[in-house]
Structure 1
Amino acid sequence: MSTVYLEHRPNSSYPYKEYGPACMYPEYKYGEDTIQEKNDIYDMVRNCLFGLELDLDNYGTAKWNPLGKYIKPGDCVLIKPNWVMHFNGAKHVTENALECLVTHPSCLRAICDYCLIALKGTGLVIIGDAPMQDCDLSFLLDKAHFNNILLFYKAHGQSVTFMDFRKYQTTFDHNKVIIDKIYQSGEATNVDMGSLSMHEKKSGKRIYQVDNYNRDETSNYHGEKRHIYSINKDVLNADVIINFCKPKSHRLAGFTAAMKNMVGIAYNKASLPHRVEGSVEEGGDAYLNKSRIKQRIDHILDRKLKHEDEHNIFLATIDRYIYGALLLLERKFGKDPYIKGIWYGNDTIWRTVMDLNYIERYADKNGILQKKPQRKILNFADMVIAGHHNGPCQPEPKEMGIIMAGEDAVAMDLAICKIIGFPDEKIPMVRSIRNHEADYLFGHDYENINIVSNCMEYVGDLEGLQFPVQWRYQPHDSWAESLK
């Protein structure tokens, strides 16, 4: 049985710029000058740690070390937020636009305090993610006041590091053509899932595609019984991972939460299959019905990428306009509105997510899969203000007042799926777990998930609990038909 803790505080809100607790907790190390007038988030994260019954013997004293179960002095600790994009693509969303898009910095500061308590002045804390290719991470860290975390710890003589796990960041011009790639300082470790990969459970020849990445590059990573993932070396060097996701509706996966957040451990995202080329009838899942126009769109987009790699901006721009014209034709005359795997029939992305979660737990520092877990993992979900409708990059804010925590990412996602009102059988990843298709990867009984909460109405076996209707998410438009 897996336990998930749900902390619900109605009308809770994020603090602005400064993230210390609102009272002098016995274990707090930084003095009364850092205490805020109000900080619901710090209290809620702390309550999650207590709710998971961590170091109960020392709770309420200066010795309380809840993360001591996971973190030992000298460890390398990775805190993994969701830093997907530096702006919300939903232009009509003006309030809480970033708050519903990325993990809030106050969540990271609270859990980081307890990581440092456990490390006792040793080891290393990294806060890192691989956001989308065109995310301006420096801008996001400044705009959303993440940098205040580093400034705070520096003032108190402690070192915490931010890392961008991507191979590169791209710059687009006004025509949405890549004009530059800014390479990061990280290194890759390739991990081969081989026949263990969830992609091997699907028969037939597959041409994998990833938005804004060359399919030839992706094919170098994936083939028959060869499923290689390019993982940032610093992720695999971690002894402990604290996964702090931002649950949202998702255009490819239905929803994103703890498991999907592991897409952000990749170095080269060309290694992460998002869809299989072609229609369902043709053995693909990029769209529903056969379409010559959509086939042509795929060809044009791939050619555009090759022109960009050659720095031929003129030809890449022409391809971009051809793509736009074909898209208009398809929208007017096409049999279905789906394209590029953005729909409920996507049978690829969830398999990639499953593989990454296995790698996160079982790949050693050299990228070799082992039979025993290689690092300890604890998961959190920032749902104080979550994101629904057209996520992950154009979400609308959903005020929920929830922070969740649990050791098991699978159990977390099953609980979140029910909380947001999405039927298990309609979400491919959840359906696969419920049908025991992934038992060989995760090996748990997910029919018995225990929910613990500060609210008694949400305590008990997940199957028997009912959650408020107002917590339900609006799905992405391309999933609405399936999730009616």
Structure 2
Amino acid sequence: MAARPKKWIPYSELQIEMGIDFVTKVGVNINDGLTYCRRPPFFPPEIYPEFQHGEIKLDKDNHVYGAVRKLLYNMGLDKEHFGKKEWNPFAGIIKQGNLVVIKPNFVIHHNGGKENIDAVVTHGSVLRPLIDYALLALNGTGEIIIGDAPQANGNFDQIIQKNGVRELVDYYQQRGENVNVYDFRKNWYPHGFKTGTRVELSGDPHGYRRINLKERSFLQDLPHKERLYGADFDRQFVVDKHTNGHEYLYSGSVLEADVVISVPKLKTHRKAGVTINSKNMVGANGDKNYLAHYRVGTPSHGGDEYPDGLPLLTRMVYRLNRFGFDNMLVKNTMLSRIGYLAMMGPFEVLRRAIKRLFHYDYMMGHGDWHGNDTVWRMCLDLNQILRYADKSGKIRDTQQRHIISIVDGIVAGQEDGPLRPTAYPAGCLAGGVDCLFEVDYTCIYMMGFAPEKLKIISRAMASGALHFKKPEEKDVCCTVNGRLTDYKSVNMHFLPQQYWRGYIER
């Protein structure tokens, strides 16, 4: 268990220390039939009082803008001025001259399930009002950065083109606003993991910080670290990073930020059960292979890649895959890719035939199941860094920056998330200030899951290191179609990923 910081501050005292002089809460706003605006740069539908001397272009069909605005009200932000020209929801959090980093979920440029990417990535129409209200608080000063580190085979340019963020940022820059969008990765695979080689990128313009959490890491008490597997093919690399301490390569932009706005997607997840705020900071790490995702093998042999008792054919394919990953693809040459495809091609044909004829997919590995005991630890480590690392990367005992959460669940993702989800038109937005895990707890409950059954939540609650309170110990202001509702009465009946079914439902 990760050590508690020497000075752990209750939330009410944290507000005072961090300079918030008004009450904030978890906010939820659900609207049946709410859909994304499809016309970048996503102008507001009306001239709101707080912007009466600003933007005059309108898009009357952009209902997302008003829904986000209502969410900020539900979060209790500058509530006494709502509806007046003085309303400035981020004014108590974002100061003039601040660097504000908006961290969305831009995981990949397509939906592997053949649907569009609405259920996969954060949409630009959700970001538009957040940028506007951040600019209102900055009052002509400071900088806003939108940034993420997608999966290593994700095409960043395609992502921000498809979700409207490219045109949105262009619009602000044409207005002379200091708003930029960056790919935080150091490298990527432009032609895919198995058919192309890795190439270097310019990366985060603010550089990176190597941070070693040492005994504070949630991985500290994990046995069999020699079995760790990361997000690339060099297994020895991730083992080395978590043998003498626990090292990460964190985004300099995120650490230099005075305020981070986390804007995750509401989705199920193969390895973690769900992916909301608690997993969103995976995209704040510049090199994916620092991130421990699972341990190879079965639990009886010290792993959590897949369960004991799988059929012989499945185990044989895993061993071949492991040989190919560790000894062929790690070489990062086209010749190694050709050799791997030649070796695994016949088994992929067999897998597809079995899936088509018997409706059974024997390839459930790579830690994609409810027994994964590794990935939640990595996620909580990244959240500790977000909260406690200063601009230089040194871990402190008190929180170093404000963290605002706004969850994009307008079109959410269920079943085979995070890369192949089925779209779920939930019309849901949720948020909070400096309470990422309370927001996640609320969302998970409304999805129809039991939050305590997910280790990424239960272990955060138990640690004391992440300022976690159950939502019943903190106000939740939830509106459904404009009516105030107890969030506990909401059950959206999300379908979990198939290897989590029967384990996380409430």
Global fold match (TM > 0.5) = yes
Match of 1:13 in 2: 35
Name stretches of at least 5 consecutive residues in structure 2 with no aligned partner: 1-10, 12-23, 310-314, 355-359
Structure 1 residue 302 and structure 2 residue 326: aligned? yes
Please list the CA deviations of residues 226-271 of structure 1 after superposition, one character each: whole Å capped at 9, or x if unmatched: 0011111111111100111111111111110111111110111111
5 Å-filtered alignment, 1:59-98, equals: 59-91=82-114, 93=115, 97-98=116-117
Q: Distance in 1 between matches of 2:173 and 2:240?
A: 43
5 Å-filtered alignment, 1:92-131, equals: 93=115, 97-131=116-150
Q: Distance in 1 between matches of 2:34 and 2:365?
A: 38
Instruction: Kindly indicate whether the alpha-carbon contact (under 8 Å) linking 2:123 and 2:164 is maintained by their aligned counterparts in 1.
Output: no
Please list the CA deviations of residues 44-74 of structure 1 after superposition, one character each: whole Å capped at 9, or x if unmatched: 1111111122223433232221101110001
5 Å-filtered alignment, 1:154-169, equals: 154-169=173-188
- Tell me which of 286, 289, 295 is aligned to 2:305: 286
Instruction: Kindly indicate whether the alpha-carbon contact (under 8 Å) linking 2:149 and 2:283 is maintained by their aligned counterparts in 1.
Output: yes
For residues 344 and 321 of structure 1, do their structure 2 counterparts lie closer, same or farther at Cα, with a shift above 3 Å needed? Answer: farther
Match of 2:196 in 1: 178
For residues 180 and 199 of structure 1, do their structure 2 counterparts lie closer, same or farther at Cα, with a shift above 3 Å needed? Answer: closer
Shift of 1:148: 1.8
Shift of 1:441: 4.1
Q: Distance in 2 between matches of 1:449 and 1:423?
A: 18
Instruction: Kindly indicate whether the alpha-carbon contact (under 8 Å) linking 2:416 and 2:422 is maintained by their aligned counterparts in 1.
Output: yes
For residues 49 and 314 of structure 1, do their structure 2 counterparts lie closer, same or farther at Cα, with a shift above 3 Å needed? Answer: same
Structure 1 residue 143 and structure 2 residue 162: aligned? yes
- Percent identity for Structure 1 against Structure 2: 29
Shift of 1:171: 1.9
Q: Distance in 2 between matches of 1:304 and 1:237?
A: 38
Comparing 231-240 with 195-204, greater Cα deviation is found at 195-204
Match of 2:3 in 1: none
SS in 2 for 1:79: strand
Q: Distance in 2 between matches of 1:157 and 1:297?
A: 51
Structure 1 residue 58 and structure 2 residue 85: aligned? no
For residues 31 and 3 of structure 1, do their structure 2 counterparts lie closer, same or farther at Cα, with a shift above 3 Å needed? Answer: closer
Please list the CA deviations of residues 387-426 of structure 1 after superposition, one character each: whole Å capped at 9, or x if unmatched: 1111111111101111111121111111111111122343
SS in 1 for 2:441: helix
5 Å-filtered alignment, 1:202-281, equals: 202-224=222-244, 226-281=245-300
Q: Distance in 2 between matches of 1:339 and 1:367?
A: 34
Structure 1 residue 416 and structure 2 residue 438: aligned? no
Instruction: Kindly indicate whether the alpha-carbon contact (under 8 Å) linking 1:288 and 1:336 is maintained by their aligned counterparts in 2.
Output: no
Structure 1 residue 200 and structure 2 residue 220: aligned? yes
For residues 345 and 324 of structure 1, do their structure 2 counterparts lie closer, same or farther at Cα, with a shift above 3 Å needed? Answer: farther
Shift of 1:9: 1.6
For residues 466 and 120 of structure 1, do their structure 2 counterparts lie closer, same or farther at Cα, with a shift above 3 Å needed? Answer: same
Shift of 1:27: 1.2
Structure 1 residue 396 and structure 2 residue 396: aligned? no
Q: Give the letter aligned to residue 479 of structure 1.
A: W
For residues 328 and 277 of structure 1, do their structure 2 counterparts lie closer, same or farther at Cα, with a shift above 3 Å needed? Answer: farther
Q: Give the letter aligned to residue 358 of structure 1.
A: Q
Shift of 1:4: 1.4
Comparing 62-71 with 141-150, greater Cα deviation is found at 141-150
SS in 2 for 1:319: helix
Q: Give the letter aligned to residue 238 of structure 1.
A: A
Name stretches of at least 5 consecutive residues in structure 1 with no aligned partner: none
Q: Distance in 1 between matches of 2:222 and 2:331?
A: 32
User: How many residues get paired?
Assistant: 468
Match of 2:496 in 1: 475
Q: Distance in 1 between matches of 2:255 and 2:361?
A: 45
Please tell me the root mean square deviation across aligned C-alpha atoms, in Å. 2.5
For residues 316 and 107 of structure 1, do their structure 2 counterparts lie closer, same or farther at Cα, with a shift above 3 Å needed? Answer: same
SS in 1 for 2:130: helix
Instruction: Kindly indicate whether the alpha-carbon contact (under 8 Å) linking 2:233 and 2:330 is maintained by their aligned counterparts in 1.
Output: no
Q: Give the letter aligned to residue 373 of structure 2.
A: D
Instruction: Kindly indicate whether the alpha-carbon contact (under 8 Å) linking 1:294 and 1:330 is maintained by their aligned counterparts in 2.
Output: no
> TM-score, normalised on structure 2?
0.86
> TM-score, normalised on structure 1?
0.90
- Tell me which of 198, 205, 210 is aligned to 1:190: 210
